[in-house]
Amino acid sequence: MKRIITLTVQDRSGVLNRVTGLLQRRQFNIESISVGSTETGGISKMTLVVEVEDEQRLEQVTKQLNKQIDVLKVSDITDKAIVARELALIKVASSSQLRSEINGIIDPFRAMVIDVSKDSLAVQITGRPDKIDALIELLRPYGIKEIARTGLTALQRGHQPQINELATYSLIK
């Protein structure tokens, strides 16, 4: 089963290597990894998409990640309300005659052309991985020259009020 795990870590040299090394030693396949700075200086956030066989192995790896010195917090957010996005750059073979046809394909995906040359164009798309996969499949017949994907990045949605909180709020108002 595919799981989305986020880690809040100290922004120090070697942290990424230690995290990926731990997962490699435990034979977890990392499907994607995204790392970037956070709103707090010196703190980074990692978003990992990993393939896990069962809940016991997931719990094991979560505990081991929590033991890492520079790891501040580990969360499995797969089953939570999240916002998740990925960025992809796709270079497609294209002649001047095909450009309008390709534009017609990418428009419904809210993708955009970011570079044009004599024999190709580069398309940028952001969204859920399944949306990106769908666009790639539609562009494949034109001849994809190159694809660069960032990997998934995600965060939990804002606080969702419970029913009793809504009732309390309406009473206060």
User: pLDDT (tens digit, 9 = 90+) per residue, 72-87?
Assistant: 999 999 999 999 999 9
pTM of the shown model: 0.80
Q: How far is CA 147 from the centre of its chain?
A: 16
Taking the C-alpha atoms of 95, 97, 103 and 106 in order, what is their torsion angle to the nearest 10 degrees? -60
Task: Tell whether 122 and 58 lie within a shared domain.
Answer: no
Instruction: Check if the beta carbon of residue 68 is closer than 8 Å to that of residue 19.
Output: yes
Task: Tell whether 68 and 104 lie within a shared domain.
Answer: no
Closest alpha carbon to 154 in 49, 11, 72, 19: 49
Cα distance between residue 55 and residue 106, in whole Å = 39
For residue 107, the enclosing domain spans 83-155
Q: Domains in the chain: how many in total?
A: 2
3-class secondary-structure state, position 86: strand
At 81-118, the pLDDT tens digits run: 999 999 999 999 999 889 999 999 999 999 999 999 99
